[in-house]
Structure 1
Amino acid sequence: MDKSHKTKRISSQAVRTAYTVVALSQLLLVLASESADITDRLGIALPGCPDSCHGVPIPYPFGIGRSCCLSEDFEVSCNATTNDTYTPYLFGTAAILNISILLGQARINYPVSSQCYNSTTKQVEYNRNYAMLYGSSFSFNDNKNKFMVIGCDTLAFANFSDGQDYNWVGCASRCSSLEALTNGSCSGLGCCQTVIPKGTTVIGIDFDPRYNNSDDVQSFGRCGYAMLMEDDGFMFYTTYITTDDLKGQKMPLVIDWAIGNTTCDVAQNNRSSYVCISNNSVCLNSGPGYLCNCSDGYQGNPYLEDGCQGLINFSLTPFLNSNL
């Protein structure tokens, strides 16, 4: 084969490859646009019901108002706050950050408990928190949450229960000087953390009064804190010790939710109460109850009629092999 013929063939292949790359790019843009259009067209709330509160999507079985949710457990209130914005609340007081239909989870804000020494009155001021989800459709997620304690002389306990058995978990946070503290992960100096039991529906937080109770700790920071919170991405800062920034604050917390207290096999035998009503939906056992997901190749809300819509699904391999 002469050099010019070989060069011509390479040039022809390069042109075909370039055309293929352009065509594929355009095709992928069309597919991405189509997927976005499907997502935009899919309803997430019951017909006639608001689907968001101040930009936070509220998908069914959750709903704003009793007539828009599956049950009282899933009722969301959309209330005005002091700065004239609206915030979605679960249980009346827990601000909702987001809700996942796919995972059966919700992220909410949960208050920080505190133990602060008042050097003037020589008294310790407590702010303890208690939460009870027992008997509801919710439980505290044991994989994404940790019990955390922050302070230089703080011992705190959390009482966890599934409504029947009770477990106490303790965590002590100590430090001899501020110089020993560094910003970063919760390593044990100024901050400690521990796991929580699976299936927890009740939590109560308390402090050991023998700690953080004198002027000896005043130079290190007068407050100790304890909280159940989502630990993903949490960073410890020395200002948590030197300031009162955490006092009265709220931290993100992940709760699991499920439908009812029966398995999929049992629920599917009672069609009048079974809630995976969309075509192309599947039932998944989850905790004491079940969840609904769209089947592979579909997306949307399986709790709504025709809530799961199909996506374009094919392989590009044959196209690539025949054009390169």
Structure 2
Amino acid sequence: MKLLQLYLVILISLASAATSQPIYARPGCKDTCGGVRIPYPFGIGTECYINEWYAVDCNSSVPYLPAINNLRLLSLNLENQTVAVNVSMNSDCLNPVRNNTQILSVDLGASPFLFSREDNKFTVEGCGNAVILEQGNLVTGCSTICQNQTTNPRNNCYGINCCQTTIPYYLKTYNIDTTGLQRPGPGGVCGSAFLVDQQKYSGQSAFVGNSFVPISLRWTLRLEEIDERYCPLMEREDLYLGNGTNIESYKCTCSSPVEEGSPYLTNGCQRVEACATCIGECGMNGTSGNITCIPTQARGKSSTVGVILGVSISIGVLLLVSTTFSLYKLIKKTKDKRQKARFFKRNGGLLLKQQESAEEGLVDKTTLFTAKELEKATDHFNENRILGRGGQGTVYKGMLTDGRIVAVKKSKIVDESQLEQFINEVVILSQVNHRNVVKLLGCCLETEVPLLVSEFVSNGTLYEQIHNETDEFPMTLNTRLRIATEIAGALSYLHSATSIPIYHRDIKSTNILMDDKFRAKVSDFGTSRFVSIDQTHLTTLVKGTFGYLDPEYFQSSQFTEKSDVYSFGVVLVELLTGEKPISVTRIGEHRSLATHFMLAMEEGEGMAVFDRRIVEDGGRGEVMAVADLAVRCLNLNGKYRPTMKEVALELERIRASYVPSEYGFEKLKYNGGIEEEMILLLSSDDNTPSTSMC
């Protein structure tokens, strides 16, 4: 019976192979988002794209390119190697009073994208002239003749209130200078200047009420990024960047014009549906341009000999396949076992065993999970289980067989040169025991990349609580003082109370989690490092998050405990102001929250930047004391900053001196219900770790 079932599966597979569908995405990956086809080398989800530049986020069925400023993706063309995106335009249609002068458009930086010279045109609408500049040098421009009229059909952009010109070569970045562009008198058209995809430049004049225009980007691939084994046909093109420089770009194409799919994938190119079941010749129709099938005359009925021969061959194939399948299962099981052992050794498993055996106190301190356990816990790392993605990897929510809810972090890559450091971190972080530090439960080393298992923290991040406050958890002054004290106590513990000092190196409000009782927990030690007692600083590649990064560390790559103090100072300012670390509304040096706050304090205008909600809570003296502490933490010279232990003690003192305005009580809502908790005026939640935590 089983052999018959297998035989039917083979016949169905052979039938389906004749009508194979074109493959656009890697196995297990989506190939569309909001009606937009996303073919490989682009992809949606982890390991679905060729590299990070080609990652696509599909939020609310709208595709975005997170690697280049989250530009909205409109369409993709594999043949031309172009992607159409929405970019902001330089126009006074939305704000006629604003004076547009040399506004920087999109900077593609180190990305593999270029502004397409074939598809884009520089367009000026209004009265006067505008130019494109690249690093101060003129690239192109055009002038218009002013004529008062309220409309201007875009397909007649020939010089009156509108002009167009091409760009002479591919660009990486540009500035648009509109100082010569004037808005005509009453009833005249808006003044706008932008680079736009000429195929999409149609309709009424000026994208009125719209701040974006479609633009075409040319994407490039290096030869080493393409797997030539899967590429039916490969082409090379030199793209001119001006000043005598070129970029080599390679692409794959299907071997036949009647094939569809991604030529960068195994068997990605397949005959189009019109040809899939064609018995005869299939090709382009010269008149219509469509692919048509020209069938041959039907063959006569099969002879009896042919039927017998076919059945005999089928039975033989069936026996051969069943034997091969059994051998395949045996070989696969043996191969998987050897592969797990190889991964365990490569990921530092033997080193972990050596370190545990070297010190009696470390034996069985680190729990080793199996790959099968974590696959079952995370439903085979289902996308629905993703809690978040970061620079170091993806975090999944899982449930172990004993019912514990955990967070499983899957690293992106393995740096074999850092394996000893990684194992040291696992061993020591497994022993870190502080109520305001996320507990590391163990790891799995028998997978291609190491998996870290930690406790699950349920109420999101501090960033979400500050910037998306809900009635369930009001961010009162007393609450913010408690959270700041908890974070400072945890960092003080890591810096000075552990057997080896730990520098976090990426303190930010998104790395502070809130548990079921809304207590702060420091998380994400993916970039943290241990420092021996005789080291004064740690020299590494610059890592961290802009807006929180210590200016001294950014310049010298020398990380000290005072660098964590600076990052904590930014978090402290977030709690005081309710503002984000980098603002899109402020301009210049005020875009940085730290700089904006320091300038306000220097000018004696600190109260103006504080969050209205905590000012209304009273406690002006405590707010100013916390602000003064934040100023000390943000000192540009690290040696003048306090230590985290000093910061924690000062916050304890400030919190003890603060009396909440409502009879010494703060109303907090937990789990949908309201319960009144008395706030101890002399600090009921002492964050100084006990000796049992060491």
TM-score range, shorter chain: 0.5 to 0.7
How many residue pairs match? The answer is 252
3-state SS of 2:169 partner: coil
Further displaced range: 190-199 or 310-319: 310-319
3-state SS of 1:109 partner: strand
3-state SS of 2:281 partner: coil
**Cross-structure match for 1:292:** 252
Answer yes or no: is 1:132 the counterpart of 2:107: yes
Q: Is the 8 A contact 1:292 1:303 kept in 2?
A: yes
Tell me the CA shift for residue 233 of structure 1: 5.6
Distance across 1 between alignment mates of 2:110 and 2:153: 42
Distance across 2 between alignment mates of 1:207 and 1:101: 35
Moved over 6 A (4+): 315-320
**Cross-structure match for 1:31:** none
What's the CA shift string for 1:248-306, capped at 9, x where partnerless?
A: 4322211111212x4xxxx5xxxxx5334426x11011332200011025332111111
**Cross-structure match for 2:171:** 200
Distance across 2 between alignment mates of 1:118 and 1:306: 52
Q: Is the 8 A contact 2:151 2:204 kept in 1?
A: no
Q: 1:159 to 1:276 in 2, by over 3 A?
A: farther
Q: 1:148 to 1:70 in 2, by over 3 A?
A: same
Tell me the CA shift for residue 88 of structure 1: 0.4
**Cross-structure match for 2:147:** 176
Q: Is the 8 A contact 1:112 1:247 kept in 2?
A: no
Q: Is the 8 A contact 1:77 1:92 kept in 2?
A: no
Q: Map 1:1-324; keep pairs closer than 5 Å.
A: 38=20, 41-80=21-60, 86-90=61-65, 91-115=68-92, 123-126=97-100, 128-151=103-126, 153-160=127-134, 166-178=137-149, 184-208=155-179, 211-212=181-182, 217-221=184-188, 223-232=190-199, 234-235=201-202, 237=204, 240=206, 245-246=207-208, 248-260=210-222, 262=223, 267=224, 273-278=225-230, 281-286=232-237, 287=239, 288-296=248-256, 297-310=258-271, 311=275, 314=281
Unaligned runs of 5+ in 2: 1-15, 240-247, 283-292, 298-694
Tell me the CA shift for residue 160 of structure 1: 4.0
Distance across 2 between alignment mates of 1:294 and 1:257: 18
3-state SS of 2:186 partner: helix
Unaligned runs of 5+ in 1: 1-33, 81-85, 268-272
Distance across 2 between alignment mates of 1:54 and 1:131: 24
3-state SS of 1:219 partner: coil
Letter in 2 for 1:299: E
3-state SS of 1:226 partner: strand
Determine which structure has the larger helix proportion and give its number. 2
Q: 1:167 to 1:206 in 2, by over 3 A?
A: closer
Letter in 2 for 1:274: I
Q: 1:79 to 1:188 in 2, by over 3 A?
A: same
Distance across 1 between alignment mates of 2:57 and 2:128: 36
Determine which structure has the larger strand proportion and give its number. 1
Q: Is the 8 A contact 2:45 2:55 kept in 1?
A: yes
Query: Relative contact order: is structure 1 or structure 2 higher (C-alpha 8 Å, sep ≥ 6)?
Result: 1
Tell me the CA shift for residue 224 of structure 1: 0.4
Among all aligned residue pairs of Structure 1 and Structure 2, give the percentage whose two residues are the same amino acid.
28
Tell me the CA shift for residue 200 of structure 1: 1.4
3-state SS of 2:191 partner: strand
Tell me the CA shift for residue 222 of structure 1: 6.7
Distance across 1 between alignment mates of 2:295 and 2:98: 72
Distance across 2 between alignment mates of 1:318 and 1:67: 42
Distance across 2 between alignment mates of 1:179 and 1:51: 43
What's the CA shift string for 1:128-172, capped at 9, x where partnerless?
A: 342122432211111111000101x242221247xxx95432222
Q: 1:317 to 1:59 in 2, by over 3 A?
A: closer
Q: What is the TM-score when the length of structure 2 is the normalising length? A: 0.33
Letter in 2 for 1:138: F
Q: Is the 8 A contact 2:150 2:189 kept in 1?
A: no
Tell me the CA shift for residue 221 of structure 1: 3.1
Q: Is the 8 A contact 1:116 1:124 kept in 2?
A: no
Distance across 1 between alignment mates of 2:89 and 2:170: 21
Letter in 1 for 2:190: C
Q: 1:276 to 1:157 in 2, by over 3 A?
A: same
Q: Is the 8 A contact 1:182 1:237 kept in 2?
A: yes
